[in-house]
Structure 1
Amino acid sequence: MKQRILALIVIATLCAAQPAFAWFNGGHELAAYIAYQKLTPATRARVDALIKLNPMYGQWTVDVENSRKPLVAFMKAATWADCIKQASCAAGYTSDGGNTPPGNPTDDQNIGYADKLMHQYWHFVDTPYSAGAPGQPAKTPNALTEIEKLSAAIETDESDDIKSYDLVWLEHLVGDIHQPLHATSRFTVNHPQGDAGGNFIYFCAKPCSDELHAYWDGLFGDTPTIQQLSENATVLLGHPKPAGAESLDVASWVTGSFDFAKSAVYTTPISEDNDPTVKLSPRPDAHYRSEANRVANEQILRAGYRLANLLNTKLK
């Protein structure tokens, strides 16, 4: 078995424009893999049936042997909320305000797969980190409010179509909120309106778009094989259960990620971003990479446990 859990993506390859995701597919699929191992038999059977209602189920499971289809589909479902942002993956979805809630009644609607809005603003909560400029309150709806809303919805007798939609969003959002830069926006002299969770902290000049948020998103890669995910999950599941693994308090999840943002993300050598003459941040060094890997592994393991506990407790 591999002893090294995961290698960092070579960030220099990210110099083409990237959409703002939280963990690339590798992180979301790894958290889902871990969660699936912790589901009770009854919850797993319910999850398997609901995932089949997603319109992409056939694509996720083509050429997958029957015995592995439920696990693979559950893992792929964790990436669906990012997939619908890309026409090349899932056509027909509309960006309704981008990363800012437009203030419409549809912002937090829960109508199942009939909803063709991307809801990009559901993926994060910009807890303000005042580090040189006053912070601004996080906008709603956001990842915190939606996880709470969808968690409550799956306890009800809503239709299976809507429950399937809620399930795949919960898979994704629970992973999202454990990426520290999806739980904060840092307010500084250079970015008095916030840095959008590190998206505006660049390591290189345009047209290169290599930046802090993408660095953290990429810690688990984007296209790992099932074998790689299985090996990595086995190593992580061999670790002690992380603190707070059984917590259903979503606000505390956000607080934990926010604390990691301050202690492990916005740290040396990342720029303090308060000198107007300094436009770029130094790149992460070896020490930073080591700490980033440690935090990312801990958070993915925690996300997997919490997702399983949430579904075991609430899914009907």
Structure 2
Amino acid sequence: MKTLRFCLAAIPALALTAPAHAYWEYGHQTVAQIAYANVTPKTRAAIRRLLAQTPQLDTPTCPATTIEGASTWADCVKPLKNADGKPRFGYAYNWHFQDVNICAPFSLEEACKDGNCVSAQIKRDVAVLRDHHASGKDKAQALVFLIHFVGDLHQPLHAGEKGDKGGNDVAAAYGEYSPRRFNLHSIWDGTLAERAITSGPSLVRRYSPAEKARIARGDVDDWSRESWQVAHDVVYASALKGDPCGPSPAKVTLDEATIEKIVPVARLEVERGGLRLAKLLDRALG
């Protein structure tokens, strides 16, 4: 089971002192902003109405009345406790990822057993949003989960791994930056994601119908396989300098040449997440 890690990545050096398990704020917010910019006006109005109902979720320390707040709500609520001291949202822990072995044929059967994986919950949230009998509170919660989980699915180490807790067990250096507890997962979660998002023109814009059709094609299972393939072909291959299924060294280093090579891939994953989220939202609410 993956180690619970989430941080507010305003400053990477601070963020790395605490564990996390999702895109840092910037990645999730950017995915959400891309989606919001590309849904239909009708869908955008429906999103605003549902976000206005999120105070019913009774999580005042994790406001979700904006698209940016909604994008990080599912991580923000992880530490919240019930009166008995147990995690209030502990049931959703496994919904943020799916541990599909990159060194075996692709299959969601075991990783998504009993629906406890990110792709299964994306489908569930869409179904709740489309259910005319669902309450406003249930729809509001489904919306904020959906916004977050689509972002998670497009972080490749949430979709594929090789028995190392999604890269959490792989110590790593990012260029010359190698603080204690830095690992392969945290690189793709934050440092690399932030660099990718800020490289080149803004990803938050209106995309053409042709761009949206090309980037958002397929369904959730297709996207799961694609993200798993990126984990195999890019994440582990670049970290291990060759065979992604070879033995992992005690520590891997992503040098500057490697970082430059994989930045476009990380950037595309954010773009894919945003436009595919827009597609799902239009289908559910538009």
TM more than 0.5: yes
Residue 140 of structure 2 is matched in structure 1 by: 164
Deviation at 1:118, TM superposition (A): 5.3
Identify which of 81, 89, 100 aligns with 2:74. 81
- For residues 60 and 138 of structure 1, the distance between their equivalents in structure 2, rounded to whole angstroms, comes to 31
**Equivalent pair of 1:84/1:118 in contact (CA under 8 Å):** no
Identify which of 299, 303, 307 aligns with 2:269. 299
Deviation at 1:280, TM superposition (A): 2.1
3-state SS of paired residue (2:102): strand
- For residues 82 and 146 of structure 1, the distance between their equivalents in structure 2, rounded to whole angstroms, comes to 15
Pick closer, same or farther for the CA change 1:302–1:32 going to 2, 3 Å.
same
**Equivalent pair of 1:11/1:210 in contact (CA under 8 Å):** no
Mapping for residues 53-202 of structure 1, pairs under 5 Å: 53-55=53-55, 60=63, 73-87=66-80, 92=82, 116-117=89-90, 119-130=92-103, 137-140=110-113, 141-157=116-132, 158-186=134-162, 194-202=163-171
Pick closer, same or farther for the CA change 1:16–1:153 going to 2, 3 Å.
same
- For residues 17 and 270 of structure 1, the distance between their equivalents in structure 2, rounded to whole angstroms, comes to 25
**Equivalent pair of 1:32/1:75 in contact (CA under 8 Å):** yes
3-state SS of paired residue (1:247): coil
TM-score, L = length of structure 2: 0.77
Identity of aligned residues (%): 30
**Equivalent pair of 2:160/2:232 in contact (CA under 8 Å):** no
Residue 241 of structure 1 is matched in structure 2 by: 211
| Structure 1 gaps, min length 5 | 1-7, 62-69, 97-114, 187-193
Deviation at 1:81, TM superposition (A): 0.4
**Equivalent pair of 1:31/1:175 in contact (CA under 8 Å):** yes
Largest Rg, 1 or 2: 1
- For residues 60 and 129 of structure 2, the distance between their equivalents in structure 1, rounded to whole angstroms, comes to 20
3-state SS of paired residue (2:130): coil
TM-score, L = length of structure 1: 0.70
Residue 186 of structure 2 is matched in structure 1 by: 214
3-state SS of paired residue (1:267): helix
Deviation at 1:290, TM superposition (A): 1.6
Deviation at 1:234, TM superposition (A): 4.3
Q: Which amino acid aligns with 2:181?
A: S
3-state SS of paired residue (1:19): coil
Deviation at 1:17, TM superposition (A): 3.3
Q: Which amino acid aligns with 1:280?
A: K
Deviation at 1:126, TM superposition (A): 1.3
- For residues 95 and 142 of structure 1, the distance between their equivalents in structure 2, rounded to whole angstroms, comes to 21
CA RMSD between the two structures: 3.6
- For residues 258 and 237 of structure 2, the distance between their equivalents in structure 1, rounded to whole angstroms, comes to 8
Residue 315 in 1 paired to residue 285 in 2?
yes
CA deviation profile, 1:168-199 (whole Å, cap 9, x unmatched): 0000001110111110121xxxxxxx111111
- For residues 292 and 236 of structure 1, the distance between their equivalents in structure 2, rounded to whole angstroms, comes to 25
**Equivalent pair of 2:78/2:90 in contact (CA under 8 Å):** no
**Equivalent pair of 1:180/1:261 in contact (CA under 8 Å):** yes
Pick closer, same or farther for the CA change 1:235–1:165 going to 2, 3 Å.
closer
Structure with more of its chain in helix, by fraction: 2
Pick closer, same or farther for the CA change 1:58–1:202 going to 2, 3 Å.
closer
Deviation at 1:207, TM superposition (A): 9.3
**Equivalent pair of 2:37/2:205 in contact (CA under 8 Å):** no
Deviation at 1:117, TM superposition (A): 3.4
